[in-house]
Amino acid sequence: MFARRDFLPGSVAVVTGAGSGIGATVAAALIQRGLAVALLDRDVAALAETVARCAPGQTLAVPTDITDPEAVAAAFAAATEQLGPVRHVVAAAGVLRPAPLTEIDPLDWAISWQVNVGGVLHVLQESARRLPEGGSVVVVSSNAAVVPRIGMASYAASKAAAAALTRVAGLELAEHGIRCNLVAPGTTATPMLAALWPDPAAAEAQALAGEPAKHRLGIPLGRIADPEDIADSVLYLLSDQARHITLQQLVVDGGATL
């Protein structure tokens, strides 16, 4: 008999970066599946937009800067008190500060590590303290953690560190029946990408075709990902359909890192 539930009815999830892009799309998809979701982001106005966009259901917007461990702990406590015990966690908050190697601003370097590594650490630590057996975590990394990209040193290094961190967490938590996996998106149409692409039409054509001068291959599937493409993979790894998968990084980039 092959009948398995995706998620326990009424489960509670915490999603960071829920104010925008991939995090907002993941949160909306989880709410659509009947989960109650605590939406964490440092951007209060963006959180309000996500709440408005979500199908009616149980949401809790918790303005949180994930670089602050006490704020993350307080957000998980609020989620537990107001929605119920947290079973699933998605860490999607991230920052991108591109620059050539010799021009990296020390502040941008520090912020990249504080958010993309430190923030993920705080979320993993709080998940370890609170998740029950059967719980799961998905951290959103990047295909830049897998292949080198020109101008992406701070971002790629921090995302690779987050991937290593998540896999160690998954190993430590496996004995408690908690799974930790990663989704590594490639080029995805979100506000983060819009900030990187002042001329979107030209940049999209270049991303699809590749840039040999920058040692960058194109995207074999010939399209830029929608946030929904990434959310589908996040939901799969988060759900009981992936109950025997842990410590894995799923690259979702149309084949760009072949």
Ligand X SMILES: NC(=O)c1ccc[n+]([C@@H]2O[C@H](COP(=O)([O-])OP(=O)(O)OC[C@H]3O[C@@H](n4cnc5c(N)ncnc54)[C@H](O)[C@@H]3O)[C@@H](O)[C@H]2O)c1
Catalytic residues: 155
Q: Report the distance separating Cα 16 and Cα 143, nearest Å.
A: 19
* Cβ closest to ligand X, residue 134 vs residue 197: 197
- Residue of 84, 85, 148, 191 interacting with ligand X (CB under 6 A): 191
- Report in angstroms how near the CB of residue 176 gets to ligand X at its nearest: 26
* Cβ closest to ligand X, residue 36 vs residue 162: 162
- Report in angstroms how near the CB of residue 205 gets to ligand X at its nearest: 16
* 140 sits near ligand X (criterion: CB under 6 A): yes
- Report in angstroms how near the CB of residue 72 gets to ligand X at its nearest: 9
* 94 sits near ligand X (criterion: CB under 6 A): yes
* 118 sits near ligand X (criterion: CB under 6 A): no
* 65 sits near ligand X (criterion: CB under 6 A): yes
Q: What is the 3-state secondary structure (H, E, C) of the chain?
A: CCCCCCCCCCCEEEEECCCCHHHHHHHHHHHHCCCEEEEEECCHHHHHHHHHHCCCCCEEEEECCCCCHHHHHHHHHHHHHHCCCEEEEEECCCCCCCECHHHCCHHHHHHHHHHHHHHHHHHHHHHHHHCCCCCEEEEECCHHHCCCCCCEHHHHHHHHHHHHHHHHHHHHHHHHCCEEEEEEECCECCHHHHHHCCCHHHHHHHHHHCEHHHCECCCCCCCCECHHHHHHHHHHHHCHHHCCCCCCEEEECCCCCC
- Residue of 38, 152, 163, 193 interacting with ligand X (CB under 6 A): 193
* 66 sits near ligand X (criterion: CB under 6 A): yes
- Report in angstroms how near the CB of residue 21 gets to ligand X at its nearest: 2
- Residue of 11, 13, 19, 86 interacting with ligand X (CB under 6 A): 19
φ and ψ at residue 146, rounded to 5 degrees:
-105, -40
- Residue of 14, 36, 38, 46 interacting with ligand X (CB under 6 A): 46
* 170 sits near ligand X (criterion: CB under 6 A): no
In the complex, the residues that contact ligand X under the rule CB under 6 A are: 16-17, 19-23, 41-43, 46, 64-67, 92-96, 115, 119, 140, 142, 185, 187-188, 190-193
